[in-house]
Structure 1
Amino acid sequence: MALTFALGGAGVQAQQPKSVPRVGYLSVLSPSSDSARIEAFRQGMRDLGYLEGQNMAIEYRYAEGKLERLPDLAGELVRLKVDVIVVGGSTATRAAKNVTRVIPIVMAHGSDPVELGFVASLARPGGNITGLTHLAPELGGKRLELLKDSLAQLSRVAVLTDPGTQGHGPQIKELEVAARALGLQLRPAEVRKPNDLENAFSAMTTGRAGALIGLQQPTLDRLRERIVDLAAKNRLPAMYSNSEYVETGGLMSYAADIVAMFRRAATYVDKILKGRKPADLPVEQPMKFELVINLKAAKQIGLTIPPNVLARADKVIK
């Protein structure tokens, strides 16, 4: 009987499917708002030989813009015992960090991870978090500079922001330093929830803002279409934090290619699945930034983009 049992057990084991790596994906956004980014990540994985549903599985968790859901969603991924968690943005990174110090976390993008306490340094993260950051020195200053070069009489700039978002402080500090150097006044316009958006634009009009700059924040990203629409209705020239706004109809953006960063995040996942430790994988900063200008949007608000600014554009939407 002992022999029969052993053989029977071997037969059961032989029938068990071979386990495949499972990747958790945690996003603040909705599936539709995040579609280009997640498809870029999947493409990056395919380029490295990982086919979803064949030799890799992805567990998706979307907060649908409800930040209070993130801790529970992150906890679900931990309970599923995924091999690595990919996060989009600093708020999602914080949620994942708070529920696990063991499972590797890969940032597809986010604010300064050192400033936020996610890693010890960019070169040697030292914990279970690594990946990419979309910030680089003087990025906010460059955006303000491009706005001023586009609007000769510019003196006041509204800053669309959610103060409760991770990464808010570093971005604001950088803008304040740059604004002083450029002789510009900043006018914060806070958006903590969707219903705040109309009031924020009313405050911009009341405060006689000559232009708008939006920070890189999930609260704003999920309201992308409404923000672009309100900027046009208020005839307010706007500089956005990524090109997705411009492709939606916004005026201009100066930023790293966020979609490309999600594709790049796949290389971190690949290394971790092959045994590398996130503590030893340096955090990458973007090396190239692109200026994207939408001439249709400029015409809609009666703005002529100066030739010297247009000549610097990497992409022009006509």
Structure 2
Amino acid sequence: MRISRIVLAAALGGALAGPALAEEARKTVAITAIVEHPALDATRDGIIAALKEAGFTQGETLTVDYQSAQGNPATAAQIARKFIGERPDVIVPISTPSAQAVVAATRDVPVVFTVVTDPVGAQLVRSMEAPGGNVTGLSDMAPVGEHVDLIAEILPRAKRLGVIYNPGEPNSVTMIGAFKEAAARKGLAVVEATATKSADVQAAGRSLAGKADAVYVPLDNTVVSALEALIRVGAQADLPIFSADTDSVERGTAASLGFDYFELGKQTGAVVARVLKGEKPGDIPVSLASGTNLVVNPKAAEAMGFAIPESVLGRATKVVGK
């Protein structure tokens, strides 16, 4: 079973430092993600950037070990067990499946999760305010109601919204529930399609052609990892595709209102630094990601057979795909 692994430390750091720092001064942070895609990768990079700002420099005072489970929950559990055995100072799981694997494997190694939609529902912590134990982290619960409002503004004639998700991802199930409630308040019907693996995403998209007026992609790692296949379906079927995460807009969805995942990574890295400096994770409340950006892709919209209104373009934080 293949594991993608990168040891993110300067190879010559110790050699160039001469006597260098005492071994006990160096900290080790183990980072793992369920899969590699731009939002999760940006989160990882933000974590490392924030740690550097906090004084933890790779090759000098910090070693970072990163491993991806390549979309396989069994591999995520394998990585979790391996990291626990290596006893790093902090483990940072990115995504709900990776966080569940790590938290299930240890009660004493400090854990700071991130990109987790519903930490309480995923049984990672007892409460957001008082997580307790060895765990804390960041939630990226998206502004789902605002997503529905945005789709309705861009496509005022839309009556049926399609959603594609992996029912095995608890974060997606939570988001779909919230999406249905928000859609119902706007008088919109929701048509579901499921994909339990990346290879299923294209077929799930095709199943919605003719049944939905637009498709919404939640924060679902399975779907986002195969986004390009879904974008092709949108272009072929004149089916507008919208996403919960803004990084997907640059890859070809029409628009999103959401977080900058590099900044979310920096928020996470700041919490990791607090733990490295001695605070107990369970004493640090779970935080909600801050900041929202409106990102639009007029070229992608045109390829899918519609135009983004000037009212939306005028207030966009970022316009891509020109």
TM-score, with length taken from structure 2: 0.88
Shift of 1:33: 7.7
Q: Distance in 1 between matches of 2:248 and 2:184?
A: 27
* Aligned-pair CA distance for 1:46: 1.1
Task: State whether structure 2 residue 115 is matched by structure 1 residue 109.
Answer: yes
In the other structure, the counterpart of 1:306 is: 309
1:47 aligns with 2:53: yes
1:239 and 1:252 in contact (8 A); partners too = yes
TM-score by length of structure 1 reads 0.89
- What's the CA shift for 1:288? 2.1
1:95 is aligned to: 101
Structure 1 unmatched runs, 5+: 1-13
Corresponding residue number in structure 2 for 1:212: 215
Please tell me whether residue 201 in structure 1 is matched to residue 205 in structure 2.
yes
Contact 2:240 2:304 in 1 (8 A): yes
Q: 1:154 aligns with which of 115, 137, 158?
A: 158
For residues 10-33 of structure 1, the C-alpha deviation after alignment (integer angstroms, 9 at most, x for no partner) is xxxx99951311111111113888
2:291 corresponds, among 264, 288, 291, to 288
- In the alignment, the residues of structure 2 paired with residue 150 and residue 218 of structure 1 have an alpha-carbon distance, to the nearest angstrom, of 25
Given that 1:106 and 1:130 are in contact with CA atoms closer than 8 Å, whether structure 2 keeps it comes out as: yes
2:291 matches 1:265: no
In the alignment, is the contact (CA less than 8 A) between 1:33 and 1:222 conserved in 2?
no
Matched, 1:132 2:132: no
**1:274 lines up with 2:277 in the alignment:** yes
Q: How much does 1:41 deviate?
A: 1.7
Distance in 1, Cα, partners of 2:41 & 2:276:
24
Letter in 1 for 2:50: G
After superposing on structure 2, the runs of 4+ consecutive aligned residues of structure 1 that deviate more than 4 Å are 14-17, 31-34
> C-alpha separation between the residues in 2 aligned to 1:58 and 1:31?
19
Amino acid at match of 2:133: G
**Alignment partners' CA distance in 2, 1:118 and 1:35:** 22
Residue 149 of structure 2 is matched in structure 1 by 145
Cα distance change on mapping 1:287 and 1:40 into 2, 3 Å: closer
Residue 171 of structure 2 corresponds to which residue in structure 1?
Answer: 167
Q: Any idea what the Cα deviations from partners look like across 1:201-257, whole Å, max 9, x if unmatched?
A: 2210142x1001011021122213323333223222122121111111221111122
Cα gap change, 1:269/1:235 in structure 2, threshold over 3 Å: closer, same or farther? same
Measure how far apart 1:39 and its partner are. Answer: 2.1
Contact 1:83 1:104 in 2 (8 A): yes
Q: Is contact 1:70–1:95 with CA below 8 Å preserved after alignment?
A: yes
Partner residue in 1 for 2:35: 29
The answer on whether the counterparts of 1:225 and 1:245 sit within 8 Å (CA) in structure 2 is no
Say yes or no: does 1:18 pair with 2:23. Answer: yes
Q: Are the structure 2 counterparts of residues 291 and 72 from structure 1 closer, same or farther at C-alpha, using a change threshold of 3 Å?
A: same
Pick one of 91, 99, 104 that aligns with 1:85. 91
Q: Does 1:65 align with 2:68?
A: no
2:153 aligned counterpart, secondary structure = helix
The one-letter code of the counterpart of 1:49 is: G
Which residue matches 2:9? Answer: none
CA deviation after TM superposition for structure 1 residue 89, in Å: 1.0
Please say if 1:243 is aligned against 2:246: yes
Whole-angstrom CA distance in 2 between matches of 1:32 and 1:257: 11
User: Does the 8 A contact of 1:40 with 1:260 survive in 2?
Assistant: yes
**What do you get for the CA RMSD once the two structures are aligned?**
2.0
Q: Which secondary structure state, in structure 1, belongs to the residue aligned with residue 170 of structure 2?
A: coil
Higher deviation after alignment, 303-312 or 55-64: 303-312
3-state secondary structure, aligned to 2:23 = coil
Q: Which amino acid aligns with 1:48?
A: A
Q: Structure 1 stretch 185-194 or stretch 196-205: which is displaced more?
A: 196-205
Aligned sequence identity (%): 27
CA positional deviation for 1:161: 0.5
- Partner of 2:114, secondary structure, is strand
State the shift of 1:130 in Å: 1.0
* Distance change >3 Å, CA 34–CA 125, structure 1 → 2: closer
Structure 2 gap ranges (5+)? 1-18
Distance 1:18 1:247, change over 3 A: same
